[in-house]
Structure 1
Amino acid sequence: MVRALCAALAMCVLNAGCGSDPRPAAAPASETGTGAAAAAATPPAPVPPAPAKAEAPAARKSVTLVYGGELQGYLTPCGCSEGMIGGLARRATFLADLRQKSGGALVNVDLGNLVKEPSRQSELKFMTILEIYLLAGFDAVCLGERDLALGGGFVAGELINRREVPIVIANLKVEELADVIRPFRTIDAKGVKVFVTGLVDPELVSGMTGVACEAPRAAGMALAAQAAGHDCRVLVAHAALPEARAWARELGFFDIVVAGVGQEDPTAPEKVGGALLVAPGVWGKYGCALRLSREDGGGWTYEFIKEALGETLAANPNVVQLIKDYQGMLALEDTRIAPERKPHPRGLFTGSARCAECHAKAYKIFEKSMHAKALDTLKDIKSHVDPECLSCHTVGYHYEGGFTSAAVTPEFGGVGCECCHGPGAQHVEDNETRSIERGGEEGCLECHTELRSPAFNYKEYFRRIAHPED
């Protein structure tokens, strides 16, 4: 009985072992050999090659370079005429729109010459422009000869209080500005590494007290090692276009050169050696930018943007408020910003009302003209204390005996007869031997400039004020 049970168990173990082998079964025996021998003789089935790995697409980089300069104190259109373009409030909107479209991959630079000439009003403008630049966000600002003319001490004091406005110049040495000028900057524009430096033309600052300027080529070449390893290298060249072209060729490692001191209108990108040379134009009338893109190992391609900052572009309300604050400072400064008045070679002014005594018909036409209301238009926009506006909206503002204020000399408010015909006091005293000037287009163009009156046409405008010689 036990022997029979053991035999049965042995048979079960044998059967279980044969049925649990997970390996493929051996090939059946051929007619000429055993199954094991035949399996060894048969070559294995070919293994298909692994699919080739697809190459990773080249990484594409993009960055937007916004550039401006040669503002020369032009904060905002005065509103005297339709079609005026430019202004920092519109520029801030232009910048914010590009910043949003670029996803923040944006670099914003300025060529310098924020103000036009040394004066107390220019100092107030310099302060205001820096505040606006703080608000808008600038990555590199150069300084020009017009800015330095304000004095190193004044400029340094304003910049120390606004260190977030980075002044970037490699070849300029001004003792008072040693703590605020840096030779270059590296900007990370959402993964795009941008190198920015500035160079100033030594000729433009020659003879300025306390200002030393190294040769641009030497100063630029000294930065070649620092510029290496960046994705994009930008030179802000405070120079006229011919000098900037020479620097671009001599230095050879810049991708973009922003220049154009004295260049009235923006220029399309110009290939100079391996660089693109651009100029923003004067007075900030246009918003200019380059949309740059490239694949790793390739060169930069670009889209050129030039947009007239016109009336359809919304004004940034924060910048508008800063300009209002500036106008408030003008009112407080009063006599400190008034011009130094000089004698007029043709004598004193008399006022349009005196002209009416003999020229009644001409005066009636004048009364109904916009010229007669010129001072009122300044009051409407709170610019009636701005010397730059008063010079074209009053009689004799820069001369002895002319307009000083609406309260003191109201008879000289508006564009009176003597704006076109010259001082009339001597003519009133002796109209037989003391004649007045006839006026003409040349005199009109002193105020009706392209910036202030872009649609001005002498023949058309003169018809509005034409009057008989009675």
Structure 2
Amino acid sequence: MTQPTNQDDFAGASGRPAPEKKPACTRGLAFQLAALGLIVVSGLAGTGLARWLQSPQAVAPKDDNALVLSPRLFPGWNKPDLVLVVSAEQHGYLLPCGCSHPQKGGLERRSNLIAALQARGWPVNAVDLGNAPQIIAPAGLPNVQGLIKYRYAMKSMARMGYTAVGIGEYEASMPLTKTLDEYALNAEKPRVVCANLKEPEVKYPGETKTWQLADPIKGSDVTLGVTGLVGLSVRDRIAKKDKTVDWIDSTPALNTVLKEMDAAKVDLRVLLYMGSISQG
């Protein structure tokens, strides 16, 4: 028996007439028109139809970075003469800790706080007590990042408008000369202040001051002066890590600073004291 060899033969074997073939060009044109129609409908859905179908109750997503303070903060407060932001013990942490929302931490959140206060029209200045560097790298690795992180922390504080920073055990652990050379050698703001460093003009020329007068603060007539002291308990810990750092007695050092602030007619005098109240 002879087997059918094409589509026509199969149709003829069943006794049904073979279907009429459409020209290839007609089928291709129909497919192109259908595809074009789909594109047009998709375009409408992405423009007018999407707007028409949108729920009238829909609202724009909340901007977590909006410079607005919570109404629960400072309720009923009038504009203060000056807002002084005080930070400390950064230990090299630049980025948000990522614990949980909204506990984001880090320099980002601090910067947003200062910007939000300024957006309210309040005059703001900032100081940092010290212990800013990272002295131990993660996972026991060499602390290559320590000085780099310190430099960027200081740059960030400069952009936030900080007037002065103090020093502590962490700055001395790098040791202190390397810490100061990393930033203060080439930048004056924020100024590193310490009134009881011995011979700073010889050991750290141009890198520290006994006290710093703040620049005029926008929206405030208050003049701000900032000094720093390192207490005995911290000096003892520093001596174990950097024996090149020497000190003078704190009382006469601070009296000298106060006389200079009197002459400069400083209204608000801030002492960044790195030490123990009970142990010195």
TM-score range, shorter chain: 0.5 to 0.7
Distance 1:213 1:89, change over 3 A: same
Instruction: Report how far residue 67 of structure 1 moved.
Output: 0.5
> Is residue 2:254 matched to residue 1:238?
no
Counterpart code for 1:109: V
* CA distance, structure 2, for counterparts of residue 134 and residue 230 of structure 1: 22
Instruction: Report how far residue 142 of structure 1 moved.
Output: 0.6
Partner of 1:133: 157
Moved over 6 A (4+): none
Q: 1:64 aligns with which of 83, 91, 94?
A: 83
Contact 1:73 1:125 in 2 (8 A): yes
Map 1:28-427 to 2 at 5 A.
Answer: 62-79=81-98, 84-103=103-122, 105-117=123-135, 119-158=143-182, 159-173=184-198, 174=200, 175-187=202-214, 188-189=216-217, 190-206=220-236, 207=239, 208-228=242-262, 229-242=265-278
**Structure 2 residues not aligned, in runs of 5+:** 1-78, 137-142
* Pairwise CA RMSD: 2.4
Instruction: Report how far residue 90 of structure 1 moved.
Output: 0.8
Contact 1:156 1:176 in 2 (8 A): no
Map Cα deviations across residues 144-180 of structure 1 (whole Å, 9 max, x no partner).
1101211233223222122222111111235542311
SS at match of 2:146: helix
Counterpart code for 1:108: A
Instruction: Report how far residue 80 of structure 1 moved.
Output: 6.2
* CA distance, structure 1, for counterparts of residue 132 and residue 278 of structure 2: 22
* CA distance, structure 2, for counterparts of residue 202 and residue 237 of structure 1: 11
* CA distance, structure 2, for counterparts of residue 214 and residue 102 of structure 1: 42
Counterpart code for 2:91: Q
Counterpart code for 2:231: D
SS at match of 2:89: coil
How many matched pairs? Answer: 184
Structure 2 length-normalised TM:
0.59
Counterpart code for 1:212: D
Distance 1:61 1:74, change over 3 A: closer
SS at match of 1:117: coil
**Structure 1 residues not aligned, in runs of 5+:** 1-59, 245-470
Instruction: Report how far residue 102 of structure 1 moved.
Output: 4.5
Counterpart code for 1:132: S
* CA distance, structure 1, for counterparts of residue 279 and residue 117 of structure 2: 30
* CA distance, structure 2, for counterparts of residue 152 and residue 241 of structure 1: 24
Distance 1:209 1:230, change over 3 A: same
Structure with the bigger percentage of strand: 1
Counterpart code for 2:147: E
Counterpart code for 1:198: G
Partner of 2:12: none
Instruction: Report how far residue 111 of structure 1 moved.
Output: 0.3
Map Cα deviations across residues 186-214 of structure 1 (whole Å, 9 max, x no partner).
22333211221111113313323210122
Distance 1:91 1:166, change over 3 A: same
Map Cα deviations across residues 372-410 of structure 1 (whole Å, 9 max, x no partner).
xxxxxxxxxxxxxxxxxxxxxxxxxxxxxxxxxxxxxxx
Contact 1:169 1:199 in 2 (8 A): yes
Larger CA deviation: 163-172 vs 199-208: 199-208
SS at match of 2:153: helix
* CA distance, structure 2, for counterparts of residue 178 and residue 213 of structure 1: 16
* CA distance, structure 2, for counterparts of residue 85 and residue 172 of structure 1: 36
* CA distance, structure 2, for counterparts of residue 151 and residue 125 of structure 1: 15
Instruction: Report how far residue 84 of structure 1 moved.
Output: 4.0
Distance 1:145 1:195, change over 3 A: same
Counterpart code for 1:88: L
Contact 1:202 1:213 in 2 (8 A): no
